[in-house]
Homo-oligomer: A and B are copies of this chain.
Amino acid sequence: MAEAQLINGRADAAVAPEDRGLTYGDGVFETIAIADGQPRLWDYHMDRLLEGAHRLGLPEPPLATLREEARYLARPAGGAVLKIYYTRGVGDGRGYRPPAQPEPRRMLIRHGLPAIPEERWEGVDCRLCQVRLSAQPALAGIKHLNRLEQVLARSEWHDPAVAEGLMLDPDGLIVEGTATNIFAVRGRTLVTPPLAEAGVTGVVRRWILAQAEALGLRVEQRGIRPEQLPEMDEVFLTNSLIGLWPVRSVASRELPVGTVSRSLLERMAEQRLTPLLGQARGQP
């Protein structure tokens, strides 16, 4: 449950039932790791929030206010997760048509860290989800509030030994996990799906693409078929909370855990990208 929250700057507020965030999923959100009293990868998160607001035609998010409120919620000791929601606010009764003068709602919610078994940073088992991600270039890449495909995909399994489910596009290419981006390494090439038609351009994905050159890796953005995974030297998943999980099996086919994953995990721990990673690496 929430440790603290600010809704349009107020600690005690609830949300009107007619907020378009609820009635239409008309908004965007960010899930931000808090470590050492600071939100991490803040600029990347804000870049994506801005891009999402722009794509949906929402008013410009108030970045200075968001930063101030995020810092306030990040201050208490201990790692945490900060969720930021930015919706078009209450509609004016005209249905889907956005109000001419929307009064957007911003909601910042601080949660405690989830309990995740440490061995996940050594390697995780994944499945392939039945529900596919539909192709929708108008919404691809941004982190909007229409997430039923992910909810349905995550409802497909209950086995706690399965850490993540991979989702395919209509052509059968892997796009991402339900809550993670996916990378594969083959030789000196780092492969990740392009996300032009489906998926979310994760902030850690962006961070990794920025490290590739320093690691001597060439980046190739292309789809990967499930049957191509065993040809890869290593496969890993990323998001802002976990940092990176190496994948050791997909649908019971074993995959090798490699050196690129380990190098990236070390860099992430050094840069304190997420408080969970610090714990997993033995840093309190």
Give A residues with C-beta under 8 Å from B. Answer: 1-2, 5, 7, 14-26, 29, 56-57, 83, 85, 87, 93-98, 107, 109, 111-112, 114, 131-132, 134-136, 138-139, 144-155, 170, 178-179
Contacts and interface: CB of A to CB of B under 8 A. Distances in A.
Contacts of A97: 154-155
Given A134-B135, A148-B146, A154 B14 contact: no
Most buried by B among A29, A132, A148: A148
A199 to B, nearest CB: 13
Number of copies of this protein chain within its complex: 2
B144 A148 contact: yes
A48 to B, nearest CB: 16
Contacts of A21: 22
A196 to B, nearest CB: 14
A25 B136 contact: no
A9 to B, nearest CB: 13
A104 B14 CA distance: 17
Closest 8 CB pairs of A and B: A25-B25, A14-B14, A134-B134, A146-B146, A96-B154, A24-B147, A134-B136, A22-B22
A22 B145 contact: yes
A83 B18 CA distance: 10
